[in-house]
Structure 1
């Protein structure tokens, strides 16, 4: 398995950066795209990196937020055949609460799900897309509490409710080193994501977790406690960025040492 970050919040080279994430993956001869960032930057970077988006066989949307889905239109313009896999509960209804009266829309660009309905496949829970590549839905109860604490809501049938991240999914790849998990924001908690994969694949070793950890607003002690829980899972490698945040990344490095790596536009990993 090889993966290359097409866009992230930071870059260490000439490629563009933005608040968003997109990762290109090669696995056993298959080409997969995870998310499309906020703009067409992921596609422009792909051109410069020599990644042919027209050769992508299928895409996966990690969750229904704009910074992972707004580039879908650009992808579908460049690739005329690939399907994109979303969780069944993914809708255009995600908001961030700034105060008690104001909620900002942070969901999939309105109209996209209808415009591209012929290119979208909805997974109802877990789904093996191809041998060794599985979409893993949340199976942990009580995640609406995490959504409420983070100020994230969905509007359903005219009512507001804390986001339980049922629209979020992990992309899990089975490799010779163990399972590699991609979860772009890990809203439910990075340790929760790892434990969900353990439960879904009993007896399988978890090698690594790649993606954002949504810690950019977290207190230092919260990050240290998370690092301890991650360590106790026995995972061997985490590669994180995007919504993790600079200060949280510093703490993860302090607590986890070399097993924690910063991702950035152009970052590559091979397992």
Structure 2
């Protein structure tokens, strides 16, 4: 299988300081003949980086948006305005929930998408809402949602809210979707932020598919993990013998440092411009 992951934008700068970076995530996936854009960062600068990296965004088959937070979907409007191409948009069933973040003094700051369903329809974009637990794109590529909570150490941060008619309620991130690529060595899982918990996500996928997890690429939201949660998560990675950990974004500096220390060559610091080529 030909499987290549290029990080178009991420919080941290590229090694040569020639690309744009920002708090956000966007990945370009080449899986045999399928081309996928996974998340769009917050500003649309990932499009400029794609040009600098000689990546042609005109050949996309799918655009996946992992959840409705600005740092993963904010660049989509700019992308649509700049790149006129036919593809299928894949999002979770509650992607257009009105998302907010609780700030100091009980104020609420908008934290969601830069566009709505009307914008998608006006631009004649084909859309698939993921309601199923598992949805097959093809024999190798799957989408997962509706993750089961299997532990007590991964708690959803209470500062994330959804605005409803009666007020603000806790965001349960039921819009979050994850991409899985089936290989001879097991699943490679592509995640956006893992708000529901990376262990919950991986546990659910293994339970549903009865397959080993070979690699994880993306954000794990360990930036807010205390020592107990971090230790439990890394123990899980070891117990499940995960061989590739291409992590960054919301994983956080402390967790990145500890994962690098404990996992050595299995860990890949997936900053802006990084390329992961998997021999699977």
TM-score when scaled to structure 1? 0.92
CA–CA distance in 1 between the matches of 2:267 and 2:148? 25
- Alpha-carbon RMSD: 2.0
In the alignment of these two chains, the number of paired residues is: 268
Residue 6 of structure 2 corresponds to which residue in structure 1?
4
Residue 260 of structure 2 corresponds to which residue in structure 1?
253
2:87 alignment partner, one of 77, 82, 88: 82
The question of 1:67 aligning with 2:71 is answered: yes
Alignment of 1:106-185 (within 5 A): 106-109=111-114, 111-117=115-121, 118-119=124-125, 120-125=127-132, 126-141=134-149, 146-147=155-156, 149-185=157-193
SS of residue in 2 equivalent to 1:68? helix
Q: What is the CA deviation profile of residues 81-122 of structure 1, one whole-angstrom value per residue up to 9, with x for unaligned ones? A: 11210011111411111246212111112x432111342321
Q: Is the 8 A contact 1:194 1:233 kept in 2?
A: no
CA–CA distance in 2 between the matches of 1:162 and 1:257? 37
Deviation, 1:201, is 1.1
TM-score when scaled to structure 2? 0.89
CA–CA distance in 1 between the matches of 2:139 and 2:241? 25
SS of residue in 2 equivalent to 1:194? helix
Gaps of at least 5 residues in structure 1 are: none
SS of residue in 1 equivalent to 2:137? strand
Q: 1:222 to 1:100 in 2, by over 3 A?
A: farther
SS of residue in 2 equivalent to 1:17? coil
Q: What is the CA deviation profile of residues 63-90 of structure 1, one whole-angstrom value per residue up to 9, with x for unaligned ones? A: 1100011111222230331121001111
Deviation, 1:152, is 1.1
Residue 31 of structure 1 corresponds to which residue in structure 2?
35
Deviation, 1:9, is 0.6
SS of residue in 2 equivalent to 1:44? helix
